[in-house]
Chain A
Amino acid sequence: MQDGLYDIKKEITILDILDRVLTKGVVITGDIVISVADIDLIYVGLRVLLSSVESMEKMRTID
């Protein structure tokens, strides 16, 4: 199978990533927890900011 995400050249949107890394798997929490209210704020912000965020560098390589 392909390495990494299916088509690495394809734009993986920040929204797709945030949808997973912030809102799913909530059973695992650390000592410091980002509250749900903040996640809502991010989404509200994203509705405005999405276009500028998406024009940023895509799928940055790991340092």
Chain B
Amino acid sequence: MNSDDQKLIYVYCLTSFQPSQIETYENGKLYLIENNGLYLTVKNVSEDEYSEVALKKNISNESWLDTHVRTHISIISKIMETQTVIPFNFGTIYTSAETLNLFIDKYYSQLTHALHYLENKEEWSVKIYCDKNTVINNISILSSTVSDIELQIKNSSPGKAYILGKKKIELIGKEIAGIYNSYSKLFFTQLNSCSEEYRLNTILSNDLSGRDDDMILNVTFLIEKERLNNFIELTDQMISQYENIGLALDLTGPWPPYTFLNLSH
């Protein structure tokens, strides 16, 4: 299989069964390496593109990185449609089938255990966003502290009302954080009732999310397939219930189970 210029082995994922139709991906370049009933979907790549030095250079090229990571995850996602996978990190390269087999031999029992644990489960990502302006427009309903100060303003002299008005602005800033926190907890608690495991991820800034509304929850769930419809219905219900108060939900999945891949399971 190896040719002189394609002597490195790039690994996509590991499965318990032979993935079907892998010859239809990547122009027929994928093949399987079998080790004691486990199947690694791999392809041969060149040192020109994937040697340690070349890889470090290439991952700094956003166009190369974008194309290749999307292909990486697309192939794993296709295989994942029919069976449980252990996804490998992007750019996992072995110099020979021997060293790859050594890795499998060493972690064999943990790999089979992880495959068993992940069976019939899917990784889903939920991001909840909140529109600050909608919160501000409804602040007197959402915050009793703000509604109290508004009442005081109404019943005060113009001078006192002016000072209280400035206080109200400060107060709104503080109250927004509390409101975000309560929304975040509300969504997390309800959605987590359908999940086996979760990981809370970093809240991304508006620059990184590319959105005008604020991210208030970034969580990944591991969901039993049989509970998936309930989970998705719940996200639909929650968003129809809360979108009028400025909340938006971004649901993506199923992802290869990177987040819950713990070989110590």
Q: Which residues of A contact B (CB under 8 A)?
A: 1, 3-7, 10, 12-22, 24-34, 38, 41-42, 45-47, 49-54, 56, 59-63
Contacts and interface: CB of A to CB of B under 8 A. Distances in A.
Contacts of A51: 210
Interface of B: 8, 11, 25-27, 50-52, 55-56, 59-60, 62-63, 65-67, 69-75, 77-78, 81, 86-95, 99-100, 103, 122, 124-125, 201, 204, 207-208, 210, 225, 228-229, 232, 251-256, 258-259, 261-263
A62 B99 contact: no
Contacts of A10: 252
Nearest to A33: B52
Contact of A62 (B8, B50, B78): B78
Contacts of B254: 1, 5-6
Given A15-B208, A25-B89, A27-B263, A5 B253 contact: yes
A42 B59 contact: yes
Contact of B210 (A12, A13, A30, A34): A13
A7 B249 CA distance: 13
